[in-house]
Amino acid sequence: MGSTRNAAATVLLASSLASAAGAQTTPALDVLHARLDKAAEAVMPKVVTWRRDLHAHPELGNQETRTSAFLAAELRRMGYEVTSGVARTGVVAVLRGGKPGPVVALRADMDGLPVTEETGLPFASNARGQYNGREVGVMHACGHDFHMSILLGAAEVLAGMKADLSGTVKIVFQPAEEGVPGEPGGAEVMVKEGVLENPKVDAMFGLHVGITPLEAGSITFRPKGLMAAGDTYRIVVKGRQTHGAMPWAGVDPIVVASQIVLGLQTIVSRQIDLTTAPAVVTVGTIEGGSRHNIVPDQVRMSGTIRTFDPEMRKEILARVKRTAEDIASAAGATAELILDEGYPATWNDSALTERMTPSLKRVAAGTFNPNAQPTTTSEDFSFYGQKVPALYFFLGVAPKGADPSAWAANHSPRFSPDEAALITGVRALASLAVDFLAGAGK
């Protein structure tokens, strides 16, 4: 008995010596994960409260003043060095870990949409705003309230682990992701104002809720092009007005515009290599004429182009211009193309994506798919990915067992993500930061 007791005492002594030695170096990754998961559980009541408060008080792009003050106050309370007013209402916060190392940035977007909420939730928004000179209802219909509360939760978890972090965490709250007509804003302006510098960011992570009807806690992404580049174009076809009974006396822009619509559809189907990446050219509006018996002077058209490959994007934009101009010229008309370049493709750095896949796999609940299909929606997180290695992923928010065909998607007035996904989001962002700084998978 006595000797057994002595042996047990020796083992205890050895393990306490090991943990004392361990306290001077970075704890093992599984120890950090256990602490992270516990801290994430603990912060959840706050995350839910933040989410409902932000949901009830949405603000349109470039007008997120209440939201900005709310986020800055919480980050200061957590001990971050906070800079407000970046790209108008953006908030950037820095946490320097106890040991030197790289810089990791986590980003969430802050803006609501001109949508009148129809969820019937007790904390539904009654907010109103001005959009394009009109009064509109305002709602967090894209889930940016989820993104902000998840990132605040992750920020608090990381603040609690500050002493053990080898490097720096940069929290980026970005306004105007959805774009504001006629105004610069969002990620592009954040980058111009130096969000990726001082300290210089080595890797950046972000998430979007929904997009696909996957159940709460699911995580999906892919290397390379995840979300499309979205470019808007307008075409003005100019002919010559005449009597509808004597079309030969003028140049008919309606017939020319019709030929352009069909010509544009042959770019993707006949002229580019579809095995490289998918692409879409859509004509969304076509307006011309005032009366059944008048051939009008001009027709205006507009549409959107979605691409995943930067080279293919250039090629398609050039072909849209050429197709419109040459078809018009063949009829003796002119076509002017006005291109409004939108967000680039959201590009996941292949090496970073592979390296961080285990971090996301560890925290996913429900579906986990690191080779998901790309989506034709766009996202201005892409501007960060053009400058630094970045990884963007989707977080499922559909209630468990819900019928996918009845799902109200992002931008619907009935979009109502399941709060069960919040903890997965917090664990995911915090884990990406902790694992990246710890050099996991390197």
**Region class of 48: left (phi > 0), else alpha (psi between -120 and 50), else beta:** alpha
Query: Could you tell me which stretch among 74-82, 141-149, 270-278, 391-399 binds Zn ion (CB under 5 A)?
Result: 141-149
Query: Could you tell me which stretch among 67-75, 81-89, 135-143, 365-373 binds Zn ion (CB under 5 A)?
Result: 135-143
Residue 296 · residue 254 · CB < 8 Å:
yes
Smallest distance from the beta carbon of 142 to Zn ion, in angstroms? 3
Smallest distance from the beta carbon of 178 to Zn ion, in angstroms? 5
Q: Strand (E) positions, 242-354? A: 242-243, 279-288, 294-295, 298-307, 334-340, 346-348
Question: Is 135 tagged catalytic?
Answer: no
Report the alpha-carbon distance of residue 155 to residue 94 in Å, rounded: 10
Question: Which residue, 142 or 189, is less far from Zn ion as judged by CB?
Answer: 142
Residue of 315, 325, 336, 419 with catalytic role: 419
Residue of 343, 379, 384, 392 with catalytic role: 343
Residue in the shown chain whose Cβ atom is closest to Zn ion: 142
Smallest distance from the beta carbon of 412 to Zn ion, in angstroms? 11
Question: Which residue, 187 or 432, is less far from Zn ion as judged by CB?
Answer: 187
Question: Which residue, 176 or 333, is less far from Zn ion as judged by CB?
Answer: 176
Smallest distance from the beta carbon of 155 to Zn ion, in angstroms? 20
Question: Which of 118, 110, 115 lies closest to 131, judged by CA?
Answer: 115
Query: Could you tell me which stretch among 119-127, 140-148, 307-315, 364-372 binds Zn ion (CB under 5 A)?
Result: 140-148
Q: Both tokens of residue 380?
A: 């201005």
Measured in whole angstroms, the distance separating CA 416 from the mean position of its chain's CA atoms is: 18
Report the alpha-carbon distance of residue 433 to residue 416 in Å, rounded: 28
The string over 214-251, giving b where at least 16 C-beta atoms fall within 10 Å of a residue's C-beta and e elsewhere, is: bbbbbbbbbbebbbbbbbebebbbebebbeeeeeeebb
Compute how many residues bind Zn ion; rule: CB under 5 A: 1
Binds Zn ion (CB under 5 A): choice among 39, 95, 142, 352: 142
Q: Answer yes or no whether residue 356 interacts with Zn ion by CB under 5 A.
A: no
Question: Which residue, 83 or 232, is less far from Zn ion as judged by CB?
Answer: 232
Report the alpha-carbon distance of residue 271 to residue 413 in Å, rounded: 38
Question: Is 343 tagged catalytic?
Answer: yes
Smallest distance from the beta carbon of 315 to Zn ion, in angstroms? 27
Strands 134-137 and 128-131: what pairing?
A: antiparallel
Binding stretches for Zn ion (CB under 5 A): 142
For the annotated catalytic residues, the residue numbers are 343, 419
